[in-house]
Each structure stands twice: as C-alpha cells, then as structure tokens.
Structure 1
Amino acid sequence: MLNKVYTPKQIDILKACRNTDWFMLINHGAKRSGKTQLDNDIFLQELIRVRKIADDLDIDTPQYILAGYSMGNIQDNILTELSNKYGFEFKFDRFNNFVLFGVKVIQTSHGNISGLGRIRGMTAFGAYINEASLANQEVFDEIKARCSGPGARIIADTNPDHPEHWLLKDYIKSAAAGILNFHFALTDNTFLDERYIKNIKESTPKGMFYDRGIKGLWVSGEGVVYPDFDQNVHVISSDQAKHIVFERMIAGVDWGWEHWGAIVLIGVKGGSYHVIEEHAAQHKHIDNWIVTAKDIIMRYGNIPFYCDPARPEHVASFQEAGINAYLANNRVLSGIEAVATLMTNKQFFIVYSKCPRFREEIYKYIWKKNTGEPLKENDDVLCAIRYGIYSDMTANKIELPGQSQMEQIKRLKGML
C-alpha cells in the first residue's frame, strides 16, 4: 500500500527514520522531487510523537518550531499543502501560531535575523525548517539550540545551493551521529508524468540551473549568467515592437553612480517579455532619472516602475514626483532563473538596437567562481531587466495597505 502513496525514495527514507534515533533529517535536491511532500507528512508524525512525550512528562503545552524563508512561504509550501491533502483548518492566534495534535506550533521566518525574536528563550520539542539553504545561519543555529526538549528532532528540506554553503559543509557532509541526509533528483519522483519531466528538462536553462533543478546537485555557476541568449532568437527590431499590442507595460530601475544606473521599458504579452528601450548612464542625479521616468510616462501612461530596493530614498523621490514606483523583488538567483527560463523558452525578446548597454553586458555578466552568485560587474541594465520582469511575475506577493489583493495585483501589473 505504501507504494501507492510514496515513491521508492520516500519509502526508504521513512524506513530509515523509523529504524534510527536521529536528531536531524535533511532532504535536499531537485525541485518537484518529493522532498517537501514527504517532510510535511513526517512533520505530522513528529507532532504526534511529541504529544506522547509531553504526556509522559505531564507537560500540557509542548512547543514546536515551524520555520520558512518567510511566513508566506510557510503558508504556501506547508500549511496550504496540508490543508489540501488532509483537510486541516488551522486556527491562528494573534501571534500567528496554532495548535495541532495538542502541540503548539510556533511559526517563524528564517530569511533574516528578525526571525530570532519569535523563538529566543523557548524550549522546543522539535523543528521543521523549510528551504533551509535560504536560512540566515544565526537563525538556523538558534532554532537548533532551542530544540532541547527530550527527544527533540529537526526536519529540514532544501534545494541545493553553491558547494561552499554552510549547510552542505557543516551538516550534510558532516559525519556527526544523528544526522540523516538524503539526495533527491527530479527522476526520484516516480509519480510525475513522463511528459512533464521531458518538458521541464527541455525548458530548464542549461548549466547551474539544470544541475541544481533537475539533478539536485550542489554546484556553482560557470561562465556567463545567460548562456542561452541568442541574437538569432531573442532580438527584434523597433518596427516589430511597434506592431505588438502589449497587454501591459512595466519598467525596471537599477540605481547607480560609478556603476551605471538604468531604466528599462518592458512590454508584456502572453507570458513573453519584450525589452523595448533602455536608458543607462553614469553620474546621473535622481532629478534627472525622474525626468527620464516622466518622459516614459508621457508616452506609455503611469506604468509601474520596479526599483532597486537598495536605495529606498530614491524610490521615495519617484513616488513624491507622482511616479508609480515600487520596491522590486530582489531575490537574485530566483530572478536570474526566471529571466534565463524565459530565454530558454523563447519568451524573452529585446530591441537590440535600442539597448547599447545591454549589448555591453550580456556576454560579460559572469558567475563568481565557487559560489552561486553573479559577479557584481557588467550587470546594471541586466539587473534593471530582472527587477522589472521578476517583480511583475511575483506582483501578487507584494502587499499594499488599504487595497484588496486583486487591486494590488492589477495596480502592480500596470492594469489600474
């Protein structure tokens, strides 16, 4: 019966967990390979086990930590999945915690140091850490330290990162007793449709993203960041762009001084993104960028400008000038992967003749050696493009006070 619910890889892990007195379980590897689905079920089993331990110790309210990159990620990756699968209706207190199987589950974000405040000083009987490679290391260590209740265990899952990452070096490769780790490739998920696997393999950018996303390997990038860019595929003329009826227009903004600053105009149609023009310069004051933005607005309306969040004072200046400016989604690797996937899928196009700085950068933007990060050189227009495209893709994740979710989405996508 188990093989109708779990893959062979998942069954092996369940058996190992049952036959071992483990302290930490780390499932790592490719996306869609079955890691989180398995860990969600183990999480439920652990809560039941914790309740039994608490009963033996006459503890009324044992506590357990549930951590993710953000509270939204916990909801999307874990709680919604459990609700859909088992029909749970979580009742949250004013601190966003809930009780399940008689165990109080304390939710916290681990993506930045602020997550420490929700767990500092508590005694936990276990933890479930989703997207563990994205965790701030100090928060991860604090979660581990808080798991001091009798029989406490930690579940962690993650997609791979670069080969020098602390999670890989200090935990996954550790020979410490009590740590179980298992590697997943996409093909380990035997419930996936063969057509889906074929399409995912073909549409995943080659190089680092393929090795991580399909093979589940902890590798660094090598060579240029966008190896699939092809002038024969992705370049369009100004005349071609003029004849496209775009669903909406957006702009991406990267601030600069010694580094080039840039504003790019992007047209969106049917899931494809078209970079229509760029405005790039060094040593340009914010007042001059406002003039550039207003010129774009005169021609295309008050479209959304997704701006580099590193200079919030410049974003504020745009807003004070009546420009529809927002802090861009600046998750670097996720944004690069999104743009690279568009290129692979032939959904990225650019008016090459109108983007001279892009022509300078596209073949010079490279990965750092031994890490999963791009070198901060020759990236200014490319960052502006990433800000615009990835923020547009994730606009429904950005919250604006006083607006309904639909209003937020429409406004951020230039539809209001």
Structure 2
Amino acid sequence: MLESLPLSRKQLESVATSDASVNIWDGAIRSGKTIASLLRWLFYVAEAPHGGELVMIGRTREAIGRNVMGPLQDPALFGDFADQVKYTTGAPTGTILGRRVHVIGASDAKAEKVIRGMTVAGAYCDEVTVLPEDFFTQLLGRMSVEGAQLFGTTNPDSPSHWLKVKFLDKLDQLPHWRYWRFTMDDNPALSEDYKARKRIEFTGLWFRRFILGDWVAAEGAVYPMWDPDRHVLPWGELPPLQRIMAAGVDYGTTNASSVLLLGLSDERDERGRDRSRLVLVDEWRHDPRTGAPRLTDGQLSDQVRAWLRTAHHPKQVGIPVEYVVVDPSAASFRLQLHQDGLASTPADNDVNRGIALTATLLAEGQLVVADRCRGWTNEVSGYSWDDKATEKGEDKPVKVADHSLDASRYALATTEALWRSALPDPIGLAA
C-alpha cells in the first residue's frame, strides 16, 4: 500500500511514530494530514485490541462518509485495502478489515450521551475542533482498553479554542500525546502551480488558517477575498445550468426574509474540460425595514411560491428547484409551506462550517453570484467578525445585515453532498 501512495517524509514520520494514546494531525488545507492519519488508522484497525469498540467520529455521519470513508474506499489511494472498507453513507456502522466500526455524528452537546457507557478500543476523529468539548472529554474517558489509541485531524481554529488551550498548548505536560503540524508543502501530490494559486486566492483569516496553518483569532471582514469584478456575473450572461439544487430561505417577520437559488453551471474550458461552478442564480427578498408591509406566514408563502414559479435563467426555462431549505428555527413558516403543498427541508445551520465553505468556494473561484442577488452583494462586503465573541475564543459574525448571506449559507451547507463531487476540483477543508 505504501508503494501506491506518494508520501512525504513528514507523512511517513507521522505514520511511523503515531504510537501514543492520542495522536493529532493539524494544519493547512490539502496538506496531506488526512491521508497520513487514515493510513495509520488502517494499520491500527488491523491489530486493534479486542474487548472494546472501534469508533469513527465527525460532525455528522455524512461528513465521515465524505471525508473519511470515501478516501478509504478509493483504490487509487489505498489499493487493495479499499475493498476491505465497507460503508454506506449515513449508516451507524461500517466494516474495516473485518472489524465492525461505529460511525458517530457529534454535532452538539447532546452527542456526549451517545458514547456514555461505551468501552472504546480505538477512535478516529475527523475535524476535532468541530466536536463538542464534553464529547471529546467523554471519549477520552471511554478509552479504557489496554493499548487504546485515538487518531484525529483538524484545521486550525481560534487560539482560544478548547483543543488548543487545554491540550495542544500543554503538550509538554502530556507525554501520552503526539502532534504534527502540516503545510501544503508536506503534500507531494500538490503541484507548485496549485500551491501558488491557493496562496494568492486566500486572504486574511483564511490565508493564515487554511494556507499557513496558524491558530489565529477572527477579526475584520469575514470574506476578504470577495471581489465584485471576479465574483459577480450579469444575470443576462449566466452560464447554462445543469440543475438548481436548492432555494435557501432565511425567514423574518420584522427583519428581512430572503430566498437565494443555488445552481450548478454546465461549463467547459477551451480544451473541453469540466469547469462547472456554483452559481447564486437569483434572489427574492422582502424587508419590512425598508417600508415594505409585514407579511403573515400565509402571505409570505404565497409570494415565495409564486416567485419560485417564475423564470430564473435568461435562456433556460422550467429548471426545477430540487430542495427548499429553510432556516431551522422557522417552524411556523415550514408548516405553512407544507400546508400550501410545498415540502421543505430544515437547513444545516452550522454557522462556522457554512462560512468556511463559502469562503473556500469564493477563494477558489467556484462560487459566483448573479447581479440580481442585490441583497447578497450588498451584505457580503460589510460582513464582519464579532470582536466581543473573538475575545471569548469564539468565531461569530456580527448579526447585522446577514439575511441573504444566511439564506445562501443554508443552501450551500445543506446540499454539499450534491455539489461537492460535481465540481471539477472538489474542495476539502480537512484534506
């Protein structure tokens, strides 16, 4: 298997020396840390002690399926071993090298109860910083089998994050921990041209965290890479679309209500290669603060449904909107839509993950916006981090003028499984 993987010296060293109770791979995007950690996890599963369970943990089971099981099942990466990894995305268990593995989503504080009482012989944690602290603490306490080990990856976060403050900053006091910090230069699969492009595309916070691999506090603009000349397209010149995957809906009563349509373009370069992008195609917005009348849920439903039936592309007519993704707190509006015959889906409202997806897509030129989306383009340049939250070690944007941004975030995060593999150069925040 090692012969089939182009591994750097640091990757090989991390695989060879990750023999501690807790082993953490940290660093930039596309830095090779995930491949190294997965290779080590395969070796561990092959000889893991019995008498306890093997667990793989991420923000959701779908995230584990995408970020971890998918690569493990890729023969181009892991050769014949890929056939020994059996998993259906969303399932509670899978099989690796004949051993049953529990797949656990840990998206909130309630997740801690999932592993309470479990005896763990081995754990793999995808994106450790998105796990609740109580869950991680409980997991460490569950690893009571002799020889039990944990393997985890993460991108950098706030320097006040619990993982850094309570563990990474105290490694000299934790002899049973091992830690490796990766940059893109540690991934031999990346070309110099690719690395140069990424260093240009990302700016501010995202450059320091995603490219340099630094743990830095959020400050200033949330999307400093935003460039109207690069990211805005005249609606009349929109590229052809393969599909419109979602209408993201942010619901308001006294505040604005916004609906953003997320499409996937059908584009080719001069050599005929796929160059599809995500496109915010069109926007509907109703804002009582600008003098518009306040609407009941029924009136709002009527207007949104009527707008969804209109043309949203200058040349293609009748493209169906596949999902209506609604602010999860808007229970009354979702009920109204249901009563009016329109099914909806509660949105994925992990704010930081949605922001990170949006930032990465903008930086890589994989998200563009039609000039019809005026609410979105008006909000994006002023969208800033909350200084008071930063002082507490939290990444939170200021909750002002963000309704259209929230609507697009709902659409992007909730439909990620649909668009990620459809992009010619899929993004990977944990790679």
| Same fold? TM cut 0.5 | yes
Measure the CA separation in 2 of the matches of 1:100 and 1:265. 39
Query: Which residue in 1 is equivalent to 2:83?
Result: 88
Query: Which residue in 2 is equivalent to 1:109?
Result: 105
Distance 1:299 1:2, change over 3 A: closer
C-alpha RMSD of the superposition = 3.3
- What secondary structure sits across from 2:401 in the alignment? coil
Distance 1:274 1:70, change over 3 A: closer
Query: Which residue in 2 is equivalent to 1:6?
Result: 7
Measure the CA separation in 2 of the matches of 1:156 and 1:395. 26
Deviation, 1:28, is: 0.9
Measure the CA separation in 1 of the matches of 2:113 and 2:53. 15
Deviation, 1:394, is: 3.7
Query: Which residue in 2 is equivalent to 1:23?
Result: 21
The count of corresponding residues between Structure 1 and Structure 2 is 382
Is 2:352 the counterpart of 1:333?
A: yes
Distance 1:248 1:47, change over 3 A: closer
Measure the CA separation in 1 of the matches of 2:85 and 2:362. 40
Measure the CA separation in 2 of the matches of 1:92 and 1:231. 42
Structure having the higher Rg: 1
Question: Please, which runs of 5 or more residues in structure 1 have no aligned partner?
Answer: 55-60, 398-416
Q: Which amino acid aligns with 1:67?
A: I
Q: Which amino acid aligns with 1:69?
A: R
Query: Which residue in 2 is equivalent to 1:122?
Result: 118
Q: Bigger relative contact order, structure 1 or 2, given CA contacts below 8 A and separation 6+?
A: 2
Q: For each residue in 1:47-67, what CA deviation from the matched residue of structure 2 results, as whole angstroms up to 9, or x when unmatched?
A: 34433xx5xxxxxx5432222
Aligned residue runs from structure 1 range 7-406, under 5 A: 7-17=8-18, 22-51=20-49, 54=50, 61-84=51-74, 85=78, 86-90=81-85, 96-98=92-94, 100=96, 104-174=100-170, 175-203=173-201, 205-236=202-233, 240=236, 246-249=241-244, 250-265=246-261, 269-270=265-266, 271-282=277-288, 283-300=294-311, 303=321, 304-344=323-363, 345=365, 347-351=367-371, 355=374, 357-358=375-376, 360-369=378-387, 370=390, 371-395=394-418
Q: For each residue in 1:254-308, what CA deviation from the matched residue of structure 2 results, as whole angstroms up to 9, or x when unmatched?
A: 1123432222356653324144343131343312211221221342366343221
Measure the CA separation in 1 of the matches of 2:207 and 2:187. 16
TM-score (norm 2): 0.77
Q: Which amino acid aligns with 1:65?
A: V
Runs of 4+ in 1 over 6 A off after TM superposition: 1-4
Distance 1:62 1:267, change over 3 A: closer
Q: For each residue in 1:336-368, what CA deviation from the matched residue of structure 2 results, as whole angstroms up to 9, or x when unmatched?
A: 34433454428423326x73x446533331012
CA contact (8 A) 1:293 1:323 kept: no
- What secondary structure sits across from 2:73 in the alignment? helix
- Between 282-291 and 210-219, the greater mean CA deviation after superposition: 282-291
- What secondary structure sits across from 1:87 in the alignment? helix
Deviation, 1:147, is: 0.2
Measure the CA separation in 1 of the matches of 2:233 and 2:96. 55
Q: For each residue in 1:176-198, what CA deviation from the matched residue of structure 2 results, as whole angstroms up to 9, or x when unmatched?
A: 22121111111111232223323
CA contact (8 A) 2:262 2:278 kept: no
TM-score (norm 1): 0.79
Deviation, 1:202, is: 3.7
Deviation, 1:318, is: 1.3
Q: For each residue in 1:296-346, what CA deviation from the matched residue of structure 2 results, as whole angstroms up to 9, or x when unmatched?
A: 134236634322122233223213212353323333233334433454428
- Between 300-309 and 315-324, the greater mean CA deviation after superposition: 300-309
